[in-house]
């Protein structure tokens, strides 16, 4: 039998019955299209403060997690440039080989101090952090209690751990108690976001910690969307609690890229040895690390306090105008229900000059497709007022 992929006498490629065909991909895409769930990337051609240029059109950007407006701050670009001039652009290797620089060490130390934990370990993304952390701690015979609306990275981290996973109802402390009482395990963990990325509501962390610790479970809090926005010095919602482990990100309020896990010195040492996304990945670029250090300095300063105050004022303005005053932080969801309704609304807003993404399953539950408005400290009150006018016909 000729080898798969060999040429016949006419120079044509022979197919082999042993080679799988990929025709099904087009059908899969067509099905997603029919259900209004096919995703397409948009090219951002330029950024000007809170505005972006997409497909040649200037839009006010309400689609970014750049909560403090630092991603477009010239000080971050300058810090990145200086560090790259001294250390080079790429880390050159995984951190355990030779990719751990003085910039990396300084950033880890600064982040640990910010979130008031003994030690910290950098990862290349929030997804890498959560899928590295959970399998490093939990395994077969253990049990993880996870909020039903946790981010996909937490969900996948739970799955990869091979622990038994108990999903408790969103922010339902009674359901958490019941499930913890009914399920034993060698090791037990409770995992929650502090500020939920698609709903904009906060978790009752102190109560969760009390329940978990009372049941012999450690608590892991993903503080990604509160970090920089809420808490003393913008350190998020978790640092003031007794949560055992804090996960944070550098790619939202800090305007750079990457993420971190903070906790005990023993924890971060264990991650060197078990967290596969850390051990087997080249380190973050030097520029991204230096930019995050510069952003952290701003976030912890009086300027950071002013930016947070401006952001919360804009949140109050938008929420009050639309009757959506519940929730904290920069995320304002507008639930429309059907996927098609969310897609149509996002397109209508774009025609009015606003970029607001349509969020559909599987990111959110069936029947809860929505617009996800995210605010930044560099939005103006006039921009928010104009968005409110454009949104009124969509909010019943």
Catalytic residues: 65, 151, 193, 197, 222, 225, 252
Q: Is 288 exposed, middle or buried (0-12, 13-18, 19+ CB in 10 A)?
A: buried
Closest CA to 238 of 261, 212, 206, 260: 206
CA distances for 16 relative to 5, 7, 26, angstroms = 7, 11, 21
At a CB cut-off of 8 Å and minimum separation 6, what does 280 contact? 94
Closest CA to 64 of 42, 94, 96, 88: 42
> How many angstroms separate the CA atoms of 374 and 312, rounded?
12
Q: Is there a cis peptide before residue 266, judged by omega within 30 degrees of 0?
A: no
**Per this entry, what is the length of the chain?**
396
Any idea of the CA torsion for 152, 158, 159, 164, to the nearest 10 degrees? Answer: -140
Residue 12 backbone phi and psi in degrees, to 5: -90, 150
Q: Which SS3 state, helix, strand or coil, does residue 7 take?
A: strand
The sign one gets for the Cα dihedral 137, 140, 143, 148 is positive
According to DSSP, residue 15 is labeled P
> How many angstroms separate the CA atoms of 329 and 197, rounded?
10
At a CB cut-off of 8 Å and minimum separation 6, what does 97 contact? none
Going by their DSSP bridges, the two strands 44-48 and 51-54 should be labelled as: antiparallel
CA 380, distance to chain mean position in Å, is 24
Return the structure tokens found at 221. Answer: 């809090």
CA distances for 239 relative to 97, 197, 227, 294, angstroms = 31, 19, 10, 21
């Amino acid at each position: 039998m000729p080898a798969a992929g060999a040429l016949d006498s006419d120079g044509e490629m022979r197919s082999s019955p042993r080679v799988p065909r990929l025709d099904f991909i087009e059908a899969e895409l067509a099905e997603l299209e029919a259900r209004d769930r096919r995703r397409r990337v948009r090219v951002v051609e330029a950024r000007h403060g809170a505005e972006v240029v997409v497909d040649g059109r200037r839009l006010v950007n309400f689609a970014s997690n750049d909560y403090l407006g630092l991603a477009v701050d010239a000080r971050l670009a300058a810090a990145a440039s200086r560090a790259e001039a001294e250390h080079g652009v790429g880390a050159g290797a995984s951190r355990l080989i030779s990719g751990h620089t003085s910039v990396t060490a300084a950033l880890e130390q600064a982040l640990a101090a910010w979130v008031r934990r003994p030690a910290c370990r950098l990862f290349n993304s929030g997804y890498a952090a959560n899928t590295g952390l959970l399998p490093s701690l939990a395994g077969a015979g253990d049990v993880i209690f996870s909020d039903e609306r946790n981010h996909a990275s937490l969900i996948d981290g739970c799955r990869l751990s091979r622990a038994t996973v108990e999903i408790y109802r969103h922010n339902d402390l009674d359901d958490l108690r019941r499930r913890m009482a009914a399920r034993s395990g060698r090791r037990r963990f409770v995992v929650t976001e502090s500020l939920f990325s698609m709903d904009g509501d906060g978790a009752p962390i102190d109560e969760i910690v009390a329940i978990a610790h009372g049941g012999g479970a450690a608590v892991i809090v993903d503080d990604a969307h509160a970090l920089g926005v809420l808490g003393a010095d913008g350190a998020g919602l978790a640092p003031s609690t007794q949560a055992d482990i804090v996960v944070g990100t550098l790619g939202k309020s800090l305007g750079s890229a990457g993420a971190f896990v903070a906790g005990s010195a023993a924890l971060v040492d264990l991650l060197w040895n078990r967290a596969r996304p850390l051990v087997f990945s080249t380190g973050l670029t030097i520029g991204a690390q230096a930019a995050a250090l510069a952003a952290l300095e701003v976030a912890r300063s009086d300027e950071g306090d002013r930016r947070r105050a401006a952001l919360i004022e804009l949140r109050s303005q938008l929420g009050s105008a639309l009757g959506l005053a519940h929730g904290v932080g920069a995320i304002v969801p507008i639930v429309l229900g059907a996927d098609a309704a969310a897609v149509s609304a996002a397109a209508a807003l774009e025609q009015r000059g606003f970029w607001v993404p349509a969020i559909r399953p599987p990111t959110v539950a069936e029947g809860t497709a929505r617009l996800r408005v995210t605010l930044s400290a560099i939005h103006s009150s006039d921009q928010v007022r104009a968005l409110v006018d454009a949104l009124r016909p969509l909010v019943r």
